Amino acid sequence: MLYKILILLFVACFSFSAYGRDKAAFLLYDKAGKPVSYHKLLKKAKKSDVVLFGELHDNPVAHWLQLELSKDLHKTNRLIMGAEMFEADTRKALDEYLAGTIDAARLDSLVPLWPNHKTDYAPLVDFARDRRIRFIGTNIPKRFARLVHKSGGFAALDSLGSEEKGWIVPLPFHFDPELPQYRKILTMEDGHGTPGMVRAQAIKDATMAHFILLNHKPGHTFLHFNGAYHSDFHEGILFYLQRENGSLRYMTITTVEQDDVRHLEEKHRDRADFIICVDSDMTKTY
């Protein structure tokens, strides 16, 4: 009787395992489109000075893996964390929350938190707070990026005061409108992609790179969370990081969605060092 039960359990486990492979929620790939394990991703991350984790903002798999990677890196590496989702001028309030001098409700009143903060970013910030890890708001204040977008140029920022200029990349900064990802913005449907939008994207990328390098410390891994477009195809933030400091070891992760995750589509290859390929039907966080 015991033998029969063991056989039934084996068949059930095998069937579940096979079904799981056929109906995977996500798979990991390297830049060449070869399936890889999370262990390989983690191994490379441990050897990196800066890891750019590109997300789709409403994708729960990406957010879960961000937290898991944070936990696993913290076991072996001295970690610094940072994110696009916090603007540089909110750093004081964020530091106070990390230090425990204000609570979540007070942080919410002081900082323009994203709609999915509670589900997706609060776990990352709280992880950093509980383990005394620095968490840096790296993004340009939205109102300054909006000025660039509307005016179509960086001259709109010349009138900022010295304190306000401390919240953005030092001006002037190198801008290359011919980067493929920037040129792609101009091809957006309905004419929404404008030169002003390209410049706003560039100053976001340059500002995030600036604050990553400003806050990185030797012997540490800086784990940064940003929208995938900000680091896809090794451009955006990474372009500015490598331009300012080519000696550091950089790694990129991105998130894509496909109807069938069993084979990475050609258009996603070389999008990052590691690609998280998620089923398109995955539930969204907001």
Select from 211, 70, 54 the least CA-distant residue to 128: 70
The pLDDT of residue 22 is above 80 = no
pLDDT of 191 reads 67
pTM of the model: 0.91
For the stretch 50-103, pLDDT in tens is 999 999 999 999 999 999 999 999 999 999 999 999 999 999 999 999 999 999
pLDDT of 4 reads 40
Q: How far apart are CA 26 and CA 97, in angstroms?
A: 34
What does the pLDDT average to over 171-179? Answer: 97
The pLDDT of residue 6 is above 50 = no
The pLDDT of residue 11 is above 80 = no
Q: Give me the chain's average pLDDT, please.
A: 92
Domains belonging to the chain, first-starting first, are 27-279 (3.40.50.11550)
Greater confidence, 230 or 6?
230
Determine what percent of the chain is predicted with pLDDT higher than 70. Answer: 91
> Taking a C-beta distance cutoff of 8 angstroms, is the pair 215, 162 a contact?
no
Q: How far apart are CA 212 and CA 142, in angstroms?
A: 18
